[in-house]
Amino acid sequence: MKPEELLAGTARERGEQVFGAPWEARAFAIARRMTELGLCTWDEFRALLIDEVGKADRARSQAGTANVSPAASPNTSAPGGSASGEAYYTHFLSALERLLAEKGIVGARDIEARMAEIVAPEPESHK
């Protein structure tokens, strides 16, 4: 198969984005990498993802915002509110963090500390 045939019909070619932002792609790749390395199974990850999505669904049901049409902007990744699927990778990231904590690989405090380091002003850091 020629490369252009492989490309044909992928989201990128149709002008759609597989990921809405670079961090979404990164979070997805990290989760996949963890399963590739055998540090977890995708099923283990999925159980946590289902839990995170479920929590958000219940909150939404209570707020009564269930009747938004998913077809309103089916082929764009335009912001469409919390019911539109835009928040999916937020749940994905929460599930990933829980998994890494449960496996004793990276804890929440490690992440907070590293975030602080990254944003700390550092004169030598190049931009």
Partner 1 sequence: MAQGTHGTLPSGAALRVKALESLLEEKGLVDSQALDAIVDAYETQVGPRNGARVVAKAWADPAFRKRLLENATATVAEMGIAGPEGEHMMAVENSPRVHNLIVCTLCSCYPWPMLGLPPVWYKSFAYRSRAVRDPRGLLNDFGLEIPDEVEVRVWDASAEQRYMVIPERPEGTEKMTEDELAELVTRDSMVGVAKIEPPRRRAPAKR
* Ranges within 37-96 binding partner 1 (CB under 8 A): 37, 39, 42-43, 46, 49-50, 53-54, 56-57, 60, 66-75, 77, 80, 82-86, 88-90, 93, 96
Q: Does 114 bind partner 1 (CB under 8 A)?
A: yes
Smallest gap, in angstroms, from Cβ of residue 118 to partner 1?
6
Single-letter code of the amino acid located at 41: T
Question: How many residues of this chain bind partner 1 (CB under 8 A)?
Answer: 72
Smallest gap, in angstroms, from Cβ of residue 123 to partner 1?
14
Among 2, 118, 123, 124, which residue sits at the site for partner 1 (rule: CB under 8 A)? 118
Q: Does 5 bind partner 1 (CB under 8 A)?
A: yes
